[in-house]
Structure 1
């Protein structure tokens, strides 16, 4: 059973697009984020003069995730941010438009801790495949005492909770679905059943789950060999990126495509369109495995009872 978390956000200048801080109750970590236009205000914050991790984010229209990212560490994060704010010809970085800084409220993070966290966050970002990293290297985790490793892993887990609240999803990897022994088994509402989409004419079946509110098509799922819908459709570009990225690969007999890894889609309809090779209504096309309940019907289960109970 999942446990609730209290995330405290503070809009430092009173605007949702400006500098903000984030904390989780009983976590010593502290997050501060700001657009590049507010870098001067960010550098004045006491947190940025501490040892910590920073993430630089920018747009990348040509990549599957649509983002560029750089992950770094420093004894004085503000000095590193100041350096990256320079132009490319001055050994700075031009791509980023937002910075996120992770430090500790008790100032107990050391240089060794920061280097360990940097390596872990880079590894997580590579595994999640939601952003193209501009880091030249991926340093291995530095050796730490067992107790310190435990503390840093807890730091990472809490950061993975608070960062998506700020719209930073580059560490969210699609979760592998557990095996379902009996499709008729009742599933807790906090968990998603396995959904299935079948193209009987082509012998293609795809499976998916909703994980943390995101629709995830599972590794091994099938898809049409080519896109047959309108060439001007917005999903044609997505389909091409999935093929170029290696997420969609040819099946062993060459008659269809298959998902080489789990992949998160923006909606069930986007997932259905990629599987079908044409536009499709995912709320109707995806059904609970072994049942006839559609995703749309599952999504709205309990609404009538909730309204009656509320009344």
Structure 2
């Protein structure tokens, strides 16, 4: 049987979820060290984190991130600790071997910066980064793209989503269920892909949100408008790009601007079957 499953190994240095975390993945030489800024002194005392790689300075509160390349691991951070105040979390990415050159690291820095610009985070780098695609040999570029793919997968396991794009694309080769919501204020379509409930481009929702809408949903809704994923015009909310959510209810709240039950309000496209009924059918098929 063919499987696309991946194994991530997490080591909690202090035995709690708030301290230093090391993350590794089977069959990948790279590894990630995630740590709060308060643990910086402890990091400097650790062995074997002075290799070539890249790093991120992250503020989840302000949705800011700085990406850099380093040839001496943690030692590069001493200058940043003095000159940059916004960050509260450090992500250090290195390899178990010594195969990363400065050009490899610069390429990874550039590619990660590209990905960050497609997320909810704002890139804090003041200088534009150089594209090293024309310098690295094609086999090296291929290896670095695999490195970025693995890094994008492993980071969320440490609680960091700085490389996760806001928008997605529907994969027509996958068997996905499609849904719709039609009422006085909403004319929208959605689909399920990779275990996410995705609002389709072209969907229309309500312009204003109600006072009863959850504050976290309201903030993210406003952020999506600022990012241009949602657009307000003609007294309505328009979805400009396919946008993934964690649940049908979250998607419904974005579109209606009010707290609603997604399972009760979304229906299988072209039918009267609710998402809840469809979900029960899927469970019954197991």
TM-score (norm 1): 0.81
Q: Mind listing any 5+ residue stretches in structure 1 that lack a counterpart?
A: 62-66, 87-91, 181-186, 307-311
Is residue 193 from structure 1 mapped to residue 177 from structure 2 by the alignment? yes
Give the match for residue 138 of structure 2: 146
Partner Cα distance (1:304, 1:2) in 2: 24
Structure-to-structure mapping, 1:258-277, within 5 angstroms: 258-277=238-257
> What residue in structure 2 maps to residue 176 of structure 1?
169
Note the residue ranges of structure 2 that are not aligned, 5 or more in a row. none
1:53-132 equivalences in 2 (<5 Å): 53-60=54-61, 67-86=63-82, 92-127=83-118, 129-132=119-122
C-alpha distance 215-80 of structure 1, shift in aligned 2 (>3 A): farther
Instruction: State how far apart, in whole Å, the 2-side matches of 1:271 and 1:237 are.
Output: 14
What's the secondary structure of 2:117's corresponding residue?
helix
1:163 and 2:155 correspond: yes
2:196 to 214, 217, 230: 214
**Which residue pairs with 1:29 in the alignment?**
30
Go from structure 1 to structure 2 and tell me whether the alpha carbon gap of 1:218 and 1:108 turns closer, same or farther (over 3 Å shift).
same
- TM-score, with length taken from structure 2: 0.87
Alignment RMSD, CA only? 2.4
1:130 touches 1:171 (CA, 8 Å); kept in 2?
no
User: How has the CA–CA distance of structure 1 residues 232 and 279 changed in structure 2, closer, same or farther, with 3 Å as cutoff?
Assistant: closer
Equivalent residue number for residue 245 of structure 1:
227
Aligned to 1:240, the other structure's residue is in SS state: helix
